[in-house]
Amino acid sequence: MDLQRLVDTFNFLDNWEDKYRVLIDMGRKLPELPDTSRTEANRVDGCTSNVWLETTVSDDTPPRIYFSADSDAFIVKGLVAILLEAYSGKTAQEILDTDIESLFDELGLAQQLTANRRDGFVSMVKAVRTQALATQAGASNSA
């Protein structure tokens, strides 16, 4: 589901129970992250639930960054799906230019999620942005 369609869906739904179902369904549709990727090195710090984020950088110029991720919690897995939709396959600059906070607000998630889940989402975004900065620095050094 692309991000605009998700916003439209959330705006159409009247209650949060239905919106949570959409989130959970998005998480269920994520490709399975192999056990070999569920390592401490891929675990996102700052999340109450376990979240693993694996990164692959393409050889394109500029490089594109692809993310695979998973969580052991249903709603968090839905948040992971939003994160992947927003960031995976983008260049470092596109990632850094993406205003995920306004999307989060537009979906109404800031008001509906627990503080721990909000903090976890912020930690996931920080991990993605850190990877984008590292990729951008690496691309600059090799140019």
* Helix, strand, coil percent content, the chain, rounded in steps of 5: 60, 15, 30
Give the active site residue among 47, 80, 84, 128.
Answer: 47
Q: Is 47 a catalytic residue?
A: yes
Question: Is residue 30 within 8 Å of 70, Cβ to Cβ?
Answer: yes
Residue 124 CB-density burial (10 A; 0-12 exposed, 13-18 middle, 19+ buried)? buried
Give the catalytic positions in this structure: 47
